[in-house]
Each structure stands twice: as structure tokens, then as C-alpha cells.
């Protein structure tokens, strides 16, 4: 091999080697950057799954859901307590009329109501008056198991037309919470009907503000509404043992103190429950009754 030919072969070998090294360099560079990009922190999550809109429905935040306190627990905290379900109703009316007049949601049909009252009678329930409850709180008089209170809110005329005759036939007492300023309006009781029912001794009329005003409203107006109704009930010889129910159901703390300062004895909310405790006498729970059998409400 001549020197010229030797140099040519050498050049080819060097050239090939250089090509291989260059190719390898780019290959390793690619792999190296690929590796780097895999370990580098990334601002976007690896998972591209986006949470559904109602994410929290699928993953509810665990929170301590309050379980109802037992009788013993309530008795220790707020006692003495009595197991005394207080049923509450609004309208007692024929379903077609209730639908036509737009108060179906607040209505219990006359037939369902009749069945519910017969059920209480058949089961031997003692229907108490409110003075038994006040007496229990004040002097510890007994409220036996199997007692109940019947309450009706808002003073609708259908109470006089449909509920009162049924209650009267069974000798059941009841409490009616009356917004006194609405008396005599279409669909509401009249003072004559109220006097008739009150003098029977079966229906106790109590304060539900003057115009059905929420206790969560303006304090000046709340005070005015309560005292106005108090005066009107008093002028008609009603609500001698002062009893109140919060329109819309919310027992506001300052209103509880205000009622107490006026000489009120008890006040009813719409918080569900049937254990009534002395230290909660201004926020007593009740059971809202619909058209189902009373067995469905635990009676
Ligand atoms: Zn009401």
C-alpha cells in the first residue's frame, strides 16, 4: 500500500469514527434531555383528569354530623326534660280546595287529620294543655309517656270549619298560634269564632306576633309585633299563661330573653324533636305533620 493510499484509508476510518461519535452524542443528548424533562418539576399535574363540576358531591368533606342527643344527654344539659311530642299543623282542608287556593304544601286533608286524631285516641295518647307543660317546667309535675300536644299555626278559618269539630268530638285540647292582626281577613278566623272556641276550654290562643313577623327581622319591629299581639290577646281575655310561637320557626336568642322579660312562660320553634327541656323553654321543638299516618312519625 502506498503512503497516499494509507492516508486515504486512515481518513475514511477517522471520518467514520467522527460520524459515529457525533451520532452517539446527539443520541445521548436526546436521551439525557428526555431524562431531565422527566425529573424536572412540572407546573401541570401528571394526570390530565379534570375534576367534575360537582366535585364536592363525589368527595364530601368529612365533617362531624351532629347526631341527635339522647334523652339522658339532653336531661343532663338542659333538664329536667319530658318526652312530649308537639304536633304542628297549618291548614286542615279538602285537598282540591287547598290546591285551588295554593296552600297544598301546608295542608293536611280533613280525612288524614281525622285518621291521625283517631289514631292518637286509639293508642291512648293523653292530649295535654299547655299549662301541664309549664307546670312540669315550674314545679316538676309529671308529664307521662304517651302524652302529646296539638298545635295549629296562623289562625286559618279552616281550623274552625274542619279541625275543631273533630277535636271537639274526641275531647282533645289544642293550642292555636294567632297573628292577631290577621284576624277577620278572608280565610282567617274571626274574633267571634275565637271567642266561641276559647270559651269551650278546648282551644288555647297564643301569641304568633301581630302580622306573622319573623323574629329574625328588625328588633324594633319584632318588639312592636310581639307587644301588639300580646295586648290584643290580653284585651280579649286570651293567653293568660303567656305562650309564643316564632313565625317561620327561628328562635332568636335575644327574642327569647325579650319574651322572658315580658313574662312569657314558653315559646315554640319549628326545630324537629320531641324532647322538651326546661332550659330550652324558649326554643321548644315540634313535629311538623303531613298527610301520612302518625305511625310514620313514630307515634
Ligand atoms: Zn306561622
Count, in order, helices (H) and strands (E) of the chain: 11, 12
Distance 53 CA to ligand 1 centre (A): 38
Do 231 and 139 reside in the same domain of the chain? Answer: yes
DSSP annotation string for 46-82: S--PPPPTTHHHHSPPP--PPPPPPHHHHHHHH-SEE
CA of 247 to the centre of ligand 1 (A): 4
Residue 71 lies in a domain: no
Cα–Cα distance for residue pair 276/180, rounded to 1 Å: 27
Q: Is residue 131 part of a domain?
A: yes
CA of 113 to the centre of ligand 1 (A): 19
Expressed in angstroms and rounded, the spacing between residue 91 Cα and the centre of ligand 1 is: 11
Separation of CA 156 and ligand 1 centre (Å)? 10
Q: Tens of pLDDT along the chain (299 residues)?
A: 555 666 665 555 555 555 544 444 444 444 444 443 343 333 333 333 333 344 333 444 455 567 888 999 999 999 999 999 999 999 999 999 999 999 999 999 999 999 999 999 999 999 999 999 999 999 987 788 899 999 999 999 999 999 999 999 999 999 999 999 999 999 999 999 999 999 999 999 999 999 999 999 999 999 999 999 999 999 999 999 999 999 999 999 999 999 999 999 999 999 999 999 999 999 999 999 999 999 999 99
Asked whether residue 214 is domain-assigned, the answer is yes
CA distances from 140 to 128, 147, 276 (A): 15, 15, 13
Distance from the CA of 260 to the center of ligand 1, in angstroms?
Answer: 20
**Residue 153 pairs with which residues in a beta bridge?**
177
Do 123 and 25 belong together in one domain? no
Q: Are residues 114 and 177 in the same domain?
A: yes
Residue numbers of the domain that contains 11 = 1-31
| Whether residue 22 is found in the same domain as residue 82 | no
In a domain, 187, yes or no: yes
Whether residue 159 is contained in a domain is answered as yes
Number of domains into which the chain is organized: 2
Identify whether 92 is part of a domain. yes
Give the C-alpha distances (Å, rounded to integers) separating 78 from 81, 282, 287. 7, 12, 20
Same structural domain for residues 90 and 171?
A: yes
- Ligand 1 geometric centre to CA of 263 (Å): 21
Shared domain for 205 and 264, answered yes or no, is: yes
The answer to whether position 45 is within a domain reads no
> Ligand 1 mean position to 174 CA, how many Å?
15
Amino acid at each position: 500500500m502506498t503512503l497516499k493510499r494509507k492516508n486515504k484509508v486512515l481518513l475514511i476510518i477517522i471520518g467514520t469514527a467522527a460520524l459515529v461519535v457525533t451520532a452517539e452524542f446527539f443520541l445521548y443528548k436526546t436521551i439525557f434531555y428526555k431524562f431531565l424533562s422527566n425529573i424536572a418539576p412540572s407546573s401541570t399535574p401528571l394526570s390530565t383528569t379534570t375534576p367534575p363540576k360537582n366535585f364536592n358531591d363525589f368527595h364530601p368533606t368529612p365533617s362531624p354530623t351532629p347526631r341527635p342527643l339522647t334523652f339522658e344527654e339532653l336531661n343532663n344539659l338542659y333538664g329536667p326534660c319530658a318526652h312530649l311530642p308537639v304536633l304542628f299543623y297549618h291548614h286542615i282542608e279538602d285537598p282540591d280546595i287547598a290546591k285551588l287556593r295554593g296552600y297544598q304544601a301546608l295542608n293536611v286533608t280533613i280525612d288524614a287529620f281525622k285518621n291521625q286524631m283517631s289514631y292518637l285516641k286509639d293508642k291512648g295518647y293523653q292530649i295535654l294543655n299547655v299549662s301541664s307543660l309549664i307546670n312540669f317546667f315550674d314545679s316538676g309535675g309529671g308529664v307521662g309517656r304517651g302524652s302529646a300536644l296539638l298545635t295549629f299555626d296562623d289562625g286559618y278559618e279552616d281550623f274552625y270549619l274542619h279541625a275543631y269539630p273533630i277535636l271537639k268530638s274526641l275531647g282533645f285540647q289544642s293550642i292555636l298560634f294567632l297573628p292577631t292582626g290577621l284576624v277577620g281577613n278572608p280565610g282567617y278566623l274571626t274574633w267571634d269564632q275565637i271567642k266561641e272556641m276559647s270559651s269551650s276550654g278546648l282551644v288555647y290562643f297564643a301569641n304568633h306576633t301581630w302580622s306573622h313577623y319573623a323574629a329574625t327581622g328588625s328588633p324594633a319591629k319584632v318588639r312592636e309585633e310581639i307587644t301588639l299581639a300580646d295586648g290584643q290577646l290580653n284585651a280579649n281575655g286570651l293567653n293568660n299563661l303567656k305562650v309564643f310561637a316564632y313565625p317561620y320557626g327561628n328562635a332568636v336568642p335575644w327574642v327569647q330573653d325579650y319574651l322572658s322579660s315580658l313574662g312569657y312562660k314558653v315559646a315554640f320553634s319549628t326545630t324537629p324533636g320531641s324532647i322538651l327541656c326546661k332550659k330550652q323553654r324558649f326554643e321548644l321543638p315540634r313535629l311538623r305533620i303531613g298527610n301520612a299516618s302518625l305511625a310514620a312519625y313514630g307515634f
